Amino acid sequence: MGDCIFCRVVRGEVPAHVIFEDQTTFAFLDRHPINPGHVLVVPKRHEPDLFQLNEEEYLAVMRTVRAVSASVLRTTAPKRVGLLVAGWDVLHAHVHVVPMHDYHDLTSRQTLEGTRGNPSDAELDGLAARLRSD
Ligand SMILES: [Zn+2]
């Protein structure tokens, strides 16, 4: 639990490109985005399953998802902002907020095969700053 990668991100032990933080939730850029502006929203408390969060935490996560989605929409101007909850990769509840430029962005070959983008820290820093200020 304490060694979970997302718990370590929340505690600041692992560098992340932070978009938003409040008492209950934390939002940061995905290291391997489907598209630029792909954000992960997590509860601060470790819980593997999003749907096992208590009501207050679940609603807090979704409130942050909505705020971050609006920022992603304004900053990256996609056709849609899609949400993805799967939980196969990291066992700490998280919602993917994905700028969608194509109908298949959420189910694309690069998503299915784990060959998504690999932007530099400088690129991620710049985008995080834009998303925070938007
Ligand atoms: Zn965790």
Report the separation in Å between the CA atom of 128 and the middle of ligand 1, taken as the mean of its atom positions.
Answer: 22
So what's the pLDDT on residue 69? 98
Cα–ligand 1 centroid distance for 34 (angstroms): 22
- Characterize 9-38 residue by residue with b for buried, 16 or more Cβ atoms within 10 angstroms of its Cβ, and e for exposed: bbeeeeebbbbbeeebbbbbbbbebbbbbb
Q: Are 79 and 106 in contact (CB under 8 A)?
A: no
Residue 53's CATH number: 3.30.428.10
Domain-embedded: residue 100: yes
Q: Encoding tokens for residue 66?
A: 């909505």
Distance 103 CA to ligand 1 centre (A): 31
Query: Which structural domain range is residue 90 located in?
Result: 5-125
Å from CA of 110 to ligand 1 middle? 25
Q: How many domains does the chain have?
A: 1
Q: Look at residue 132 and tell me if it is in a domain.
A: no
Q: What is the pTM of this model?
A: 0.89
Establish if 131 belongs to a structural domain.
Answer: no
Query: Mean of the per-residue pLDDT values for the chain?
Result: 93
Tens-place pLDDT, residues 30-81 = 999 999 999 999 999 999 999 999 999 999 999 999 999 999 999 999 999 9
The answer to the question of residue 103 being in a domain is yes
Distance in Å, CA 94 to ligand 1 centroid: 10
The Å distance, Cα 97 to ligand 1 centre, comes to 19
Q: Ligand 1 centroid to 2 CA: how many Å?
A: 7
Is residue 130 assigned to a domain? Answer: no
Confidence of residue 110 (pLDDT cuts 50, 70, 90): confident
